[in-house]
Structures are given as structure tokens and as C-alpha cells.
Amino acid sequence: MVVLIASVLSLKGGVGKTTVTLGLASAAQHRGVDTLLVDLDPQMNATTTVDPETAVGALGSGVDPAEDTADRRPHGSATIAEVLDDPRRKVVERAVRPSGWGDHLRVLPGSERVEAHNHPDPGSKHLARLALALSRVDPAPELVLIDCPPSLGQLTRSALVAADRAVLVTEPSLFAVTGVQRALEAVQQERTRGDLRLQPLGVVINRFRPRVSEHEYRLQELRDLFGPLVLSPVLADRSAVQQAQGAAVPIHSWPTAGAREIAHDFDALLDRLLRAGKIRRRG
């Protein structure tokens, strides 16, 4: 089976990485594509949304996070932090869990402790640990979606080393062009360093508001500069996104017209991703 690994990243925080990861995961679950969501962000927002139980257990309550994690999550389970400490098969096995979203989505839960791996200048062995761990997930998923933290440090770089495709996310704002440029450079650097399969899938423009002239202007600017790398559809700003995330349900299950529209857009982005990987689909 071909596994396609996609890393969702941006230079800037709060632009929609987790939202895009969750939207793609929702589309994949809806379509029956076996997917693993990997939460590399110490904020653990993706884990909180797809697997609230684990996230509550792993979140600190003033206690040492390692101790807290060991005490309160299901017995014997692990998180991304333990996997990056020690990517042996048995650790990976303990970390990968079913999600609350359905049979097709599993999760490798995040941890506050993963911040310890965000070293600015890691060795190449360290950077390859995530890729190694993902190759040991059994049964292998068809699709892996990695939600990156808001920096281009070791965690994001290890996601790039593991990935076939990088999905860049930006809002249509003043600093979008420089942010996208720097993220593309990071992808390029990792490619040249490592002779990787990695390619940019493209740039997702998120929270677009039509008729807001600043947004129209920035969108045009991004299209002029990055051409076909700017992915269609552009994602609109929709309150349904926040409502579904707040309720920890997939956007495909949220019963409003706005949710249906953006769910449809995520279907189209998933199609684009799956075409890139030419992976088998179940209809």
C-alpha cells in the first residue's frame, strides 16, 4: 500500500494549520481513507479536537507533564513526545490510538513535552526520527496528516523530512507573501539537504473574506507571485469552523450551510492531495 504523508505548516501562528489538518482529516474520514493524524504541536489543539479524552489526560494541571501524562492517560499509552524520544515499534504501537471521529481516523497524540524536541540545530539522525516512527505504524495508514507547530524549528523540519507533500497555509494578509516565501525556502532547503521525496503541494489561503478589498488584493498578489502553487479552492472565513472545532466534531458532520460549503472545499483539497500521491481510494 502507498502511504502519502502530508505536513501542514506555516511560518506564522494562528493562520489555520490545525484547521486545514482537521478539515482534511474530516474529508478523509468521510471518504473512508485510512488516515493517521500526527499532532506535532505542543499546544495539542488537533489532539483536543479529535481525541478529547487523551488531550485532557495529557494536559498539565500544575503537575510535572511527564508524571501527569503517565498518571492520567489510558494505562500504558504514549504520545508524540515518547515516540520522538524513542521511535521503536513498541513505543509507536503504544502511541497510535483510535480517534473519536470514526474508524478511519487514528491519532498520534500531541504532548506539551514535545517542545523539548524543538531544538534549533538538530542532527540529521534526530530529524529522521519521525519518518522512522511513521514507517512503523501498523497497520500502515493510507494517508498521514501532520499538524506542525508555528515555527520552522526541529519539529517542523522533522515533519518535512518525513513528508511527501508540504501544505503551506496563510491568511490573505500583509505579511503573507514573505511568510509563504520563507516557508517555501524551508521546504526547498530540506529537499536539497536530504534528497527527499518532499514537494510543496501548494499554498492554502485561509479565512478569505470576499468583498474585503485588502483580502482581494492580497489574494491577487499571492497568485501573481506563486501562480499555480496557490491552491483552489480558497477557504472562506466561516463561523462553522470554530463551532465544529469547539464541539470537537468533524466539519463534515456540522449541520449548517456554511459547514457544508467549507467541507466541500476540504473534499476538493483532499482530492488534490490524493491525486499527488495517486493513492487508492475506496469511492
Ligand X SMILES: Nc1ncnc2c1ncn2[C@@H]1O[C@H](COP(=O)(O)OP(=O)(O)OP(=O)(O)O)[C@@H](O)[C@H]1O
Contact residues: ligand X, CB under 6 A: 10, 13-19, 41, 43, 45, 150, 206-207, 235, 237-238, 241-242, 245
Residue 206 interacts, among Mg ion, ligand X, none and using kind-specific CB cut-offs from 5 to 8 Å, with ligand X
Q: Does 17 bind Mg ion (CB under 5 A)?
A: yes
C-beta of 15 vs 36, nearer to ligand X: 15
- The 10 Å Cβ neighbour count of residue 211 is 6
* Whole-Å CA distances, 216 to 61, 205, 209, 213, 221: 44, 11, 8, 5, 9
26 binds, among Mg ion, ligand X, none (CB under 5 to 8 A by kind): none
Which residue, 18 or 49, has its beta carbon nearer to Mg ion? 18
Give me the least distance between CB of 115 and ligand X, in Å please.
13
Query: Number of residues in contact with Mg ion, rule: CB under 5 A?
Result: 3
CB of 236 to ligand X, least distance (A): 6
10 Å Cβ neighbour count for 52? 13
12 contributes a contact to Mg ion by CB under 5 A: no
Beta-bridge partners for 107: 37, 97
Task: Rule CB under 5 A: say whether 18 interacts with Mg ion.
Answer: yes
Closest CB to Mg ion among residues 20, 131: 20
Which of Mg ion, ligand X, none does 29 bind, CB closer than 5 to 8 A by kind? none
Residue closer to ligand X (CB basis): 64 or 175: 175
CB 134 within 8 A of CB 165: no
Which residues, listed in sequence order, are joined to residue 35 by a DSSP beta bridge? 105, 143
Binding mask 29-58 for Mg ion (x = CB under 5 A): ----------------x-------------
Specify whether the CB–CB gap between 235 and 268 falls below 8 A.
Answer: no
- Which residue's CB is nearer to ligand X, number 23 or number 200? 23
Of 46 and 83, nearer to ligand X (C-beta) is: 46
Which H/E stretch holds residue 170? strand 165-170
Q: Residue 224 half-sphere exposure, CB side, CA atoms within 13 Å?
A: 8
Question: From ligand X, Mg ion, none, which one binds at residue 74 (CB under 5 to 8 Å depending on kind)?
Answer: none
Please, what sign has the CA dihedral across residues 71, 73, 75, 77? negative
State how far the Cα of 58 lies from the Cα of 115, in Å rounded to an integer.
Answer: 14
> Kindly report the CA angle at 183 between 178 and 189, in degrees rounded to 5?
125
Nearer to ligand X, 21 or 54 (CB): 21
Decide which of ligand X, Mg ion, none touches 237; Cβ closer than 5 to 8 Å per partner kind: ligand X
Minimal distance, residue 258 CB to ligand X, in Å = 9
Does residue 156 touch Mg ion according to CB under 5 A?
Answer: no
Crossing angle between the packed helical segments 176-194 and 213-226, to the nearest 10 degrees: 30
The amino acid at 176: A
Residue 96: CB minimum distance to Mg ion, A: 20
Which among Mg ion, ligand X, none contacts residue 54 (Cβ within 5 to 8 A by kind)? none
Pair 138, 167: CB distance under 8 Å: no
From CA 136, how far away is CA 134, in angstroms rounded? Answer: 5
The β-bridge partners of 236 are: 208
Binding site for Mg ion (CB under 5 A): 17-18, 45
